[in-house]
Each structure stands twice: as structure tokens, then as C-alpha cells.
Amino acid sequence: MSAFADITDAVRDALLQAPALAAGNVNRGRSVPLPADAEQAIDVAMASSRAQPLSLSDTLAMQWESVVVVVCKARGNASTDAEDAIDPLVTAAWQRLLAMTAPAGVTGMTLDPVIQWGLDEADQPLATATLSLRLTHITTTAALAAS
């Protein structure tokens, strides 16, 4: 498995630690609509990665800057608007990401101080909040495995 898959696995696993966020409805590598019977969900995905060689003599060793996005989704109802519905999920996801142990090969991890918000008025109001986790990590093989 590549370092990139290892990283998104680790983020998903942090969100699923007991008690699991979004009632365990955490998807990795998929962007799926919020199921009709669910109030909350989280999608985790690698958004971007950019590398620089660590040395001129070893072209396989790379230092990467990667961004993982964590998209929180919550549905409002007749008594709770969408922003109130998503607020506790965003707070819990933020706290989990801040407390997360860095995966193997990761030399730096920062939670971006920006949250992108979205609202969708459908049959029931739906709110989204996207958190971005920036990671610096190193791979040393053509297989892009973590070092």
C-alpha cells in the first residue's frame, strides 16, 4: 500500500475510534450522498500531493506535501437547522484530527485553520463542512511506500 492510502486510512481510523463519529458512517476514497436514513456522514480523501526530491543523487527519495480533506455532512430537520445539525460533528472531527497520532513516515501534520461551509436546501436542509489536514511525509521507493 502507498503512503497516500496509509494516510487516509489513518485519518479514517481516527474518526472511527470509539465513540465513532457520524455513527460510524465514515467513507474513505468515496464521495457519497448522505443516505436518506442517516443524519450524519464523513468522507475522507486525498486532495493533493506535491513532491520534491530529497537529494540529487537519490531520485526515489521524495518529501511530499499532501492535503487530506475531511468532509462532514449533516442533515437538519423540522426542529434543527442544518448549521446546528453539523456543528457538533465539525467540533468532534476537529478535535479528533488535532489529537491524531501521525502515521508512519509523516514528519509534520497541521490542521488548516480554514473550514469551507456549504448548505443545500433539498427535502431536508443539508450542511457540509470541509476540513483540510496538511501532511509532510517521505517516501523512499518507486512504490511510494512510507519511509
Q: At what angle do helices 82-99 and 3-16 cross, to 10 degrees?
A: 120
142 is written with which cell numbers?
518507486
User: In the prediction, which pLDDT does 123 show?
Assistant: 81
**One-letter amino acid of 141:** T
Domain boundaries, the chain: 3-31+39-139
Q: What does the alpha-carbon distance between residue 118 and residue 69 come to, in Å, rounded to a whole number?
A: 14
**pLDDT tens for each residue of 26-67:** 999 988 888 888 999 999 999 999 998 887 676 678 899 999
User: What would the mean pLDDT of 90-119 be, rounded to a whole number?
Assistant: 94
77: enclosing H helix or E strand: none
Class of 3-31+39-139 in CATH? alpha beta
What predicted TM-score, i.e. pTM, was given to this entire model? Answer: 0.92
| pLDDT score of 102 more than 70 | yes
The Cα 135–Cα 143 span in angstroms is 19
